[in-house]
Chain A
Amino acid sequence: MTRVGGDRLPSSIRERGDPYLATLIQQIINGLSLGSVYALIAVGYSLVYSVLLFSNFAHGGFLVIGGYICYAALRTFNIGIWMAGALSLVGAGAAAILTERLAYRPIRERTNVTLYLLIASMGMSIVIENIFVIVAGGRFRALPPVIPTTPVNFFGLATTSAFDLLSLVSAVVFLGALQLFLSKTRWGLAIRAAAYDLRTAGLMGVNVNRLISIVFFVAGALAAVGGIFLSVRYTLYPQLGAITIKAFVAAVIGGLGSLPGAVVGSLILGLAEMLTAGFISSQMRDLVVFSLLVVTLLVKPTGLFGKSVSEKV
């Protein structure tokens, strides 16, 4: 037998002779931390979908905007991560509102075919990506090490990075804040009403345009949080937004329009990816992601938590 793993595996496991358990625990932790970043992005997709009933493919763009604002703030103005983070949240939120005003509102006011919004959002994602290609260049950039990435040992069972825990915690904090916002404030109530029926909410006196702006702001800000975490972990470049396709898949698996669904879907997807890569084959990883998507749609098209809508005659 060849020596396996050497001294790099925690000795407790090695003595018990159970490398699978260690790998399993490791992959589960990795999966949860990946899923938590997906969740931040997936929630944005779901939030917009719940109100406007279209998949906003420009969402990846908001994430890139957030990342670049944070990068510029840290590199150029030398301000702390908290300030830079706040700036990037506000900036990405504002960009999201602007996108909605310029590209979606005129279409929304003219027609109720969501397909046109979808195409416009694809156009916007191309526009945002290429603005950064031109202005900032295609180069891969890394944020300064503002978030610790030191290894953390889990009770001698597995090792993970402090960053993973931090992203998990931040995801919980931001999603908790969103939940509070939606359930305790007047605008949260209005958003929930609009998610139920936008037209009726408008008739009941809700300022629909302002409501949609708020929804986009929240979605953009959450995307920026995801963007900061992704660019710390994976670098920042104009095509970073392409990662959001997985978050989108997660949102669909959980049920488009459902916020708990987006979170659960993201965690499932993160775990599925990591466990496939760890125990089956890393080549199969994406195949599993997309098969999971198709199977979910076939079995329960509205996703795990989606409200089932019957076809209106």
Chain B
Amino acid sequence: MKRNWMIALVVLVVVAGYFFMQQQAPQPPKEEPVKESPTPTPEAPKAEEPKAEEPKAEEPKAEEPKAAEETVKIGYLAALTGDWAAYGQTEEKTARLAVDEINAKGGVLGKKLELVVYDFRTRAEDAVNAVRRMIEEDKVVAIVGANGSGINIATAPIVNRLGVSQIGTVSTNPLVTVDEKGEVRPYSFRICFTDPYQGKLIAFFAAKELKRMKAAILYDVGNDYSQGLREFFMKSYAEYQGEVVADLGFRGGTDVDFRAQLTEIRDKGADVLVLPNMGKEMALIMKQARELGMNEIVFVGGDGYGEFMWEIAGEAMEGSYWINHVAPEDPAMAPFFAAYKEKWDDECKEFVNGVLGYDSIYWVADAISRAGKADPKLIRDALEATKDLKLHHATITMDPKTHNPVDKDGVVLIAKDGKGQFFTKIKP
């Protein structure tokens, strides 16, 4: 009796797992485990299940023979819900834009590109299964995303085991492409520069260009990006003989009031405030700093800059500097912004994520055509061999030892007259 019970339980779990794989979904016996909830309750969700399932279940059957020949599938891991939704939603839009443009020009290798977008609600355990599903169910040849280092580090073992390349859009942690033993992860790439590099750029700019030697830093203790940038900034800033007079933290998400920290920074007499954070927090910090009468201090931030910050901080933005990947008024980018506006009837305000997502798709498309065949292994080799590839925002060359773009210029933006304007390009 006892044994039967446990066997039933295990079988239930295993069968339930199988049931939700699309190939087996239509077989009636596999539906039982879920129907065992004998109540009328889940009627509403139940009623919807077939809807979501049918197209999914039929698609592979009806289209796969043709689809395998006609389209090349690229996965996109986007944060469509949760705290990063603002960035993930933009990335999805720009990726779709890039795919449409490439397809309009005849696709790649005579085949059309198809984008498979999955959400991961900013949770690693969800992203892991999304990636497995992309690779094994949807048979994507490469994956773009996610826009967070923690997620990329968690998915790296899987993409490397299964042999499909993944390109992080704004995943700046070095561990994304190189494991903790210092060896490159063969199938992990990134299009952005790394935290150490960006930290160095910020330190270089503050100390050498602005000649401000007393920095305060205000970072998000709960955010890995922010913590990393702070660490590398402090290291490089010390090398440039700068002094960090105040090193303060806050908690992103719930923490939206920074006046306590700002008051302390003011009392310590810092002349530059470094903000290695996400857009919203930086805008609030600047606004609150000016409200506290801190009119002298200069703000320098990283690639978290977004045009929406003007809506929040308003005039407090004026005169702040941003070390970034992309300059929005770069003439090469104008067609992109116009196309985005036309397709989505919206300004591309989170343009860093947007442009990097957009160019990642172009990069993958280029790698596929250089590989000559939509084969994940060949695409990986082509990605690694990328040299002087002219994308929209930059020309990139891969370092095969780290899978980071080599010596990417840092673009410094200055916030002026209501928008971020090109200030200079730096390379320490």
Contacts and interface: CB of A to CB of B under 8 A. Distances in A.
B260 A137 contact: no
B417 to A, nearest CB: 17
A130 B261 contact: no
A286 B251 contact: yes
A235 B251 contact: no
A161 B84 CA distance: 30
Contacts of A281: 249
A116 interface: no
A145 B287 CA distance: 12
Contact of B248 (A26, A276, A282): A282
B284 A278 contact: no
Contact of B260 (A160, A163, A277): A277
B292 interface: yes
Given A235-B284, A282-B260, A286-B254, A8 B295 contact: yes
Contact of B263 (A27, A234, A273): A27
Interface string A265-276: 000000001111
Contacts of B292: 26, 151, 159-161
B268 interface: yes
Contact of B81 (A2, A9, A130, A245): A130
A242 B86 contact: no
A99 to B, nearest CB: 17
B242 to A, nearest CB: 14
Interface string B238-279: 000000000011110111110111011011110000000001
B257 to A, nearest CB: 5
B86 A140 contact: yes
A285 B253 contact: no
A281 to B, nearest CB: 8
Interface string B267-302: 111000000000110011001101111111000000
B266 A8 contact: yes
A19 interface: yes
Contact of A8 (B82, B264, B294, B306): B294
Interface stretch (B59-67, B98-106, B307-315, B383-391): B307-315
Interface in A1-41: 2-6, 8-9, 19, 22-23, 26-27, 30, 34
B89 interface: yes
A142 B312 contact: yes
Nearest to A245: B254
A138 interface: yes
Contacts of B267: 4-5, 9, 19, 22-23
Contact of B253 (A8, A235, A239): A239
A137 B345 CA distance: 13
Interface residues of B, number: 49
A296 interface: no
B148 interface: no
A158 to B, nearest CB: 9
Contact of B85 (A23, A133, A243): A133
B264 A286 contact: no
A239 B311 contact: no
B348 to A, nearest CB: 11
A141 interface: yes
B221 interface: yes
A160 B311 CA distance: 21
Contact of B89 (A27, A137, A142): A137
- Which of A4, A235, A275 is the most central at the interface, judged by chain B CB atoms within 10 Å of its CB? A235
A142 B311 contact: yes
Contacts of A163: 291
B350 interface: yes
- Which of A30, A243, A282 is the most central at the interface, judged by chain B CB atoms within 10 Å of its CB? A282
B83 interface: yes
- Which of A2, A140, A142, A276 is the most central at the interface, judged by chain B CB atoms within 10 Å of its CB? A140
Contact of B269 (A4, A277, A282): A4
Nearest to B315: A145
B89 A6 contact: no
A237 interface: yes
Contacts of B186: none
A34 B254 CA distance: 13
A238 interface: yes
B260 A274 contact: yes
Nearest to A19: B267
Contacts of B268: 4-5
Contacts of A22: 267
Nearest to A275: B260
Nearest to A10: B293
A246 interface: yes
Given A150-B291, A160-B292, A277-B264, 11 more contacts: A4-B267, A23-B263, A26-B292, A30-B260, A139-B86, A140-B279, A237-B86, A239-B253, A274-B257, A281-B249, A286-B255
8 contacts: A26-B263, A133-B85, A141-B308, A151-B291, A235-B280, A245-B254, A274-B257, A277-B250
Q: Kindly list the 7 A-B residue pairs having the minimum CB-CB distance in the complex, ordered from nearest.
A: A138-B85, A277-B260, A142-B311, A234-B256, A161-B291, A138-B86, A30-B259
Interface of B: 80-89, 221, 248-251, 253-257, 259-261, 263-264, 266-269, 279-280, 283-284, 287-288, 290-296, 306, 308, 311-312, 314, 349-350
